[in-house]
Amino acid sequence: MDDLDTEPMLPPPIRRIEVDREPHVAPARPAPNGNGVAVAAPRPRNVRPPALGARERMSIDGVWLAYGENWVVRDVSLPVRQGEVLALIGASGSGKTTLLRSLNRLTEITAGAGRAGSITLDGQDIHEIEVNALRRRVTMVFQQPNPFPMSIFENVAYALREKPGGRRRGRRSQLEPAVREALRRAGLHDEVGEDLDRSALALSGGQQQRLCIARALAAEPEVLLLDEPCSALDPISTAVIEDLVIGLRESVAVVIVTHNLQQAFRVADHVAFMHLGELVEYGTSEEVFDHPIQRRTRDYISGAFG
Amino acid sequence: MASVAAGERPTRPPAIVRPRREGTATWPLADRICHALCWAVGVGLCVITIAIVVFMLVKGITYLRPKLFIEHPAPAGPGAQAKSGGFLDPIVGTFIVTAIGIAIAAPAGIGLATWLNEYGRPRWLARTVESAIEMIAGVPSIVLAIFGLVIFSRPFLAFLSQPGATVALSQSFIIAGIMMSLLALPLVFTATRESLTQLPPRLREASYALGKTRATTIRRVLLPSPQMRTGMATGVVLGMGRIIGDTAILTILLGSTLKNEAVGHVPVWGTLRGTGSTLTSYIYNNSPAGEGGAPQKAYAAAFLLLMSVLVLNAAVTRLTGGQGGATRLTRIGRRALLTGVGGNG
Amino acid sequence: MAVGVLHRPGRGATAGIDQQRAVKADRRAELTLGALGVGVLALIGLMLVTVLINAWPSFSANGLSWFGSGGEVVTQFRAMQSGTPLPGHSVLYFRAWPLIWGTLITTVPAALIALVVSTLAAIFLIEFAPASVRRVLEPVVRLLAGIPSVVYGLFGILVLVPYVNEHLISNARKASVEHVVQLNGADLFTATLVLTLMILPIMIAISAGALSAVPPAWREGSAALGVNRWRTMWRVSVRTARPAIAAGLVLATARALGEAIMLSMLSGGRPFAANPLDGLTFFFEPVQPLAATIVKEFGGQSGGPVASTIYAIAAVLLFSAALLSLAAWAVKQPLKRYGIGA
């Protein structure tokens, strides 16, 4: 047999991947403590005037969130606007998922959660709205697709049936148009439209996630929260869902948490970078990716940590 | 708006609010009714159970006297209940029956579980044995008692009890003990099996890699390991509880004499061949359903029985991991609840 | 290098003998334990065969009418004991319908009530109970499971029966059926009540286990859609746990079917086919289920017509228990899909 291994194999040389652009050194803002160390500014960096028709739906004001005695989110203020996609980016543990979950009060499920600051939906404090009514207006799609062990139809109709005053035992014919519409909005109708009675668990991962999006849309929410929706999916499904998200932003306000910078770059209109619970930088996608002001933002985007 | 001036960063938040669990005030009426029903059932169950147990314990303690422990039962004359003897014999009887039952069930259960899990060939045999043990677990104890009656009344088995006219009497401690072992067998088997399957494979792999045979591995490595010890102990305690709590087998296979009557003159074997009573049959016979003599003594004996059940329950809880609880039960612990320490019949 | 035979490490010249001895020892162990298994099977087979053989006379003398009605069970047993057959029939004459009816009307209601109560209790335990209450309820359920049936019977016969007799059955009611049967508080109502209590813990344990095994992702997903806790529990968790709850129901029914001691103490003095047409009195009439009959009528004989009849009853009980075991196995199959153990 040939000796295939006459030469010892050398490991490939280690290369540092660098972002190929000129470092933008923006003039440092005067730091209040004045010792040159970049201090996180508590206010959004550069709030562009809202685009025409992009009205503010939710307003996050000085929000602090804690689990037990650990402060996970510190003094974050952000607007959530209809007609645009807001991406929350940051390393693990930066508090972005916790912030997202506080928008529909899902943090309350965990014992020992604490908060301060205010979050409003259309001007009304969300803690004064009844929690289930709030969650029907602000729905969420999770990282792992979690369709219920029912048929596709029943999954999407679930939200419709559970609306109070909703047609709980509504017959198929009454609920079907709304179900099909939700599936269309989620881009799933073409694939599953013929047989809605198949078990939802028989679908592929990407299809299940789109089913979850359809389920979330069936209740016609005002804000859609997406918690790393594509992290468990293959690239093709990811692309499909990203197109979906861009298409949805006209009708709902979308907030997406992602640790995938390219995805944020593709999908987002506004980007908020969080680090260790603080809002480090907020701006439009071009501003944050092309001209980041804070050194920490620059470091994260160039891959120095994360 | 943020409560800070530009450039200033607060180091702690103004005030922390801990949200409460979702209240039910805003739910539709039907849901609120169901919620209230759940509460009613949960609390009601606690109240009823605690009431019954406390009642039995209190009643029992009022009638419990130390001399009851050391006196033999005597038939109660009218109006002489409180004075006519104790329950030494039933206590001894309970010990005997439990000891015999466990002495048979423990090795058999452990052996079967080991064989099934470690060898298990041929496959059809393994599956059949497994189903057979499940079936035994599901048979009511009264039916097992009848089985015992049928088999042990064969004349050639009369040495286990007493010979009669055409058939053996088939009522004795040893016969009752043998049939009781069938009650405990599935419990020991399941507990041992569960522990075996949960052993990490590296234990076996390490032993085989050293060239040890399966038999040696089982004997020297697997069975002495702490998880197995706990599992087997749990199974044995559950089995004991089941045996202690059973009455049906005793009414058929031990008769309704109050005292332990030995047969023949061989010391230990004579007692084993003889009839007698255990705590459970003593309670049954002293209640209005039996001869009906002495409800006070029945209460006292019931107190003893309940206490031993409580102790065994506590032992099982300790063995299956302390806190336990329906939400975090291991399969063995859940099995304990299923069949109960007191069990069937 | 070709892959060769796997050699066990040995030491020197004795390596081969050690190895053979080891394999033989292994084989011996396997055969011994295997023989144990075969022994268990043989034992069960033996028991089945002997009971059926001994029950056969009773079945063959009565045919299918064994399950029917006709006459009083008590008189039939007396006839068997004394050896004098009832006029026109053989000494083995027996009609078990009152007993079967008694079994049905105690077991089925107990199972149904326990189903409802245990589901609510399990939901309470998993979802609504604060930690302090849960810490009490769990040991309580375990305690309920552990109380021996004779203690349940004792409590019932010394406390419940007199209470029912004095406060729930009016004298008028007693008088109305006096010519047929005596009402004394040991009856269908009392027996079914205590029976329900006895089978509750099994079902609560199984249901609670299945409910807590429902993937939290589904419950979270439902909450995030704005569905309140009760409806989430009902529409998602209970629905997923349905096979487990069904399996629990079957197991509990098997337990209720086999309960002999407590029922013999509480269900009444005689095998009477309680008549639903009697209205409310129906609940206070005595019954005698099959298992309790064995306890009551067993007089120590192991041969003869009485014994044969008792063996026949045991055979019926065994058959029903086997059917229920099979049903429990069948019902648990869908659970494997979600990996929710029961």
Q: pLDDT by residue (tens digit) across B198-238? A: 888 888 888 888 887 777 777 888 888 888 888 899 899 99
Least confident residue range of A127-131, A191-195, A229-233, B317-321? B317-321
Q: What is the rounded distance in angstroms from the CA atom of residue C271 to the CA atom of residue C267?
A: 9
Least confident residue range of A173-187, B140-154, B160-174, C61-75: B160-174
Per CB-CB distance under 8 Å, the chain A contacts of B17 are: 114-116
Is the entire prediction scored with pTM above 0.80? yes
Exposure string of A62-91, with b = 16+ CB inside 10 Å and e = fewer, is bbbbbeeeebbbbbbbbbbbbbbbbbbbbe
Q: Using alpha carbons, select from B240, B296, B285 the residue that is nearest to residue B259.
A: B285
pLDDT at B237: 92
Instruction: Please give the Cα distance from A153 to A155 (Å, whole number).
Output: 5
Taking contacts as CB-CB distances below 8 angstroms, the residues of chain B near A105 are 19
pLDDT of residue A185: 86
pLDDT in tens, A51-90: 445 788 899 988 888 888 888 888 899 999 888 899 999 8
Residue C236 has pLDDT above 50, yes or no: yes
Shortest distance, CA C172 to any CA of chain B (angstroms) = 25
A105 contacts chain C (CB < 8 A): no
Q: What is the pLDDT of residue C303?
A: 72
pLDDT band for A24, please (50, 70, 90 cuts). low
* Chain C contact present for B133, CB below 8 A: yes
At C166, give phi and psi (nearest 5°): -85, -35
Q: By percentage, how much of chain A surpasses pLDDT 70? A: 79
Q: Return the pLDDT at A91.
A: 87
pLDDT at A248: 85
Could you tell me which of C123, C255, C270 has the C-alpha nearest to residue C200?
C255
**Would you list which residues of chain C are within 8 Å, Cβ to Cβ, of chain A?**
215, 217-218, 220-228, 231, 235-236, 239-240, 338
Mean pLDDT of chain A: 80
Mean pLDDT of B315-330: 59
Residue A33 exposed, middle or buried by CB count within 10 Å (0-12, 13-18, 19+): exposed
SS (H, E, C) B136-149: HHHCCHHHHHHHHH
User: Cβ of A68 under 8 Å from any chain B Cβ?
Assistant: no
Name chain B contacts of C209, Cβ cutoff 8 Å: 326-327, 329, 334
Show residues of chain B in contact with C204, CB under 8 Å: 326
C-alpha distance from B36 to closest chain A C-alpha (Å):
19
Residue C21 pLDDT exceeds 80: no
Residues in A closer than 8 angstroms to C218, CB to CB, are 146, 148-149
H helices then E strands: how many in chain C? 16, 0
Residue type at C116? V
Do residue C146 and residue B112 have CB atoms under 8 angstroms apart? no
Is the predicted pLDDT of residue A180 greater than 60, yes or no? yes
Q: What are residue A225's DSSP bridge partners?
A: A140, A255
To which H or E segment does residue A76 belong? Answer: strand A70-81
Q: Is the pLDDT of residue B167 over 80?
A: no
Mean pLDDT, chain B, whole residue set: 79
Chain B CB contacts of C29 under 8 Å are 214-215, 218
- Do B229 and B155 contact (CB within 8 A), yes or no? no
The closest alpha carbon to B337, from C318, C147, C126, C214, belongs to: C147
Q: What is the pLDDT of residue B47?
A: 94
Low-confidence winner among A131-145, C39-53, C78-92 (lowest mean pLDDT): C78-92
For residue B344, the 8-state DSSP code is -
Please say whether the dihedral angle defined by the alpha carbons of residues C175, C177, C181 and C186, taken in this order, is positive or negative. Answer: negative
Mean pLDDT of B297-310: 88
Give CA angle at B305 (B302, B310), nearest 5°. Answer: 125
Residues of A within 8 A of B25 (CB-CB) are none
- Of A110-114, B65-69, C245-249, where does the model show the most confidence? C245-249
**Out of A39, A40, A108, closest to residue B19 by CB:** A108
Please compute the mean of the pLDDT values over residues C264-286 and round it to a whole number: 80
Which of C23, C54, C202 is nearest residue B213 as measured by Cβ atoms? C23
Q: Tell me, what's the pLDDT at C178?
A: 75
Range with lowest mean pLDDT among B21-25, B56-60, B70-74, B261-265: B70-74
CB C341 within 8 A of CB B331: yes
pLDDT score at B329: 41
Quick one: pLDDT at residue B2?
35
Q: Is the pLDDT of residue B78 over 50?
A: no
DSSP, collapsed to helix, strand or coil, labels residue C247 as: helix
Whether B16 and A115 lie within 8 Å, measured CB to CB: yes
**Contact check, Cβ <8 Å, B4/A42:** yes
Reply yes or no on whether the pLDDT at B338 is more than 60. Answer: no
User: In angstroms, what separates the C-alpha of A272 from chain C's closest C-alpha?
Assistant: 23
- Is residue A172 pLDDT above 70, yes or no? yes
Closest-CA distance of chain A to residue B14, Å:
7
Place of tokens 């079914």: C192
Strand partners, A284: A270
pLDDT surpasses 60 at A110: yes
